[in-house]
Amino acid sequence: MSEYNLGFISDEDIFEHVLDTVKKYRISPSSVNLKKFNKNLIDPIKLTFDSKVYSQDLTDIVENEILRQIDKTNNNHIGYFHQNIFKYFGNGWIVPQRGYDLENENENFFVELKNKHNTMNSSSSQKTYIKMQDSILRNDKAICMLVEVIAKKSQNITWRISLNGEPFANNRIRRVSIDKFYELVSGDKHAFKKLCEKLPQIISDAVSSLDELVAQNSVMEELNAISPNLLKSLYLLSFQKYEGFNEFKVEQ
């Protein structure tokens, strides 16, 4: 095993955690079939607009949609990486089954972790803030934090928010960038920077330790089985039980 010398996490632990993430990452595209492709119901009308307006071949549009779905799943795996790395830091940090994303009952820290500063809309932001308000009311030592991996800037500040038009701020409800959170957890001001520097090497080591991935994508084959006309297949995939679609004839 390579030596990463991060200091705040052992070589073995960071390698195993990255390896776990890589395994999840690799599963996503390894077997894409029509059932998975249409899990959330494909919108053939949007795909038609995409193809016609951007003058793109429909096959390319479908392939791009497959990649978009894979990317959405992979974003969840990156969330797993960011959240679960802290269970290796010790000192009371855990990833609970429910409640907050991260907790440290010894230090009375309760954390919601988001990948980007603009991930939450106004409604979800208010819901999260109210949850934190409830926590600090129930525990007079609690400090709640919204930790953002990609924040606008390095910060550990009071989270200020408007609830029903009324401004709220409490010093025990914080908005924290990931670098400042790593510093809080590890005591190392540059811990997150050090991780980012070593991460490409660790990922390469993890990937090299696995067998080569053979991707299996049967979406186009299964669509062709519905109809040789790809556009017709997409419409029948979503609308085959609608009135009249048993005699559907698409004009391209």
pLDDT in tens, 75-123: 889 999 999 999 999 889 999 999 999 999 999 999 999 988 667 788 8
Residue 114 lies in a domain: yes
pLDDT in tens, 35-56: 888 887 889 999 999 999 999 9
Q: Which helix (H) or strand (E) holds 162?
A: strand 156-163
* Predicted local distance difference test score (pLDDT) of residue 246: 80
pLDDT in tens, 187-206: 999 999 999 999 999 999 99
Task: Please state, in angstroms and rounded to a whole number, the distance separating the CA atoms of residues 233 and 237.
Answer: 6
pLDDT greater than 60 at residue 29: no
pLDDT greater than 90 at residue 181: yes
How many independent structural domains does the chain possess? 1
Task: Grade residue 4 by pLDDT with cuts at 50, 70 and 90.
Answer: very high
Residue 249 lies in a domain: no
- Residue pair 207/29 in contact (Cβ under 8 Å)? The answer is no
pLDDT greater than 70 at residue 214: no
Task: Please state, in angstroms and rounded to a whole number, the distance separating the CA atoms of residues 46 and 188.
Answer: 48
- For residue 39 the two structure tokens come to 């899990």
Residue 61 lies in a domain: yes
Give the range of the structural domain holding residue 42, as residue numbers without chain letter.
Answer: 11-208
Identify which has the larger pLDDT, 116 or 155. Answer: 155
Sequence-distant (≥ 6) Cβ neighbours of residue 99 within 8 angstroms: 110
Single out the residue of 118, 175, 179, 173 nearest to residue 154, CA to CA. Answer: 179
* Predicted local distance difference test score (pLDDT) of residue 138: 95
* Predicted local distance difference test score (pLDDT) of residue 63: 87
Mean pLDDT over each residue of the chain, to the nearest integer: 90
* Predicted local distance difference test score (pLDDT) of residue 187: 94
Type of residue at 202:
I
Residue 45 lies in a domain: yes
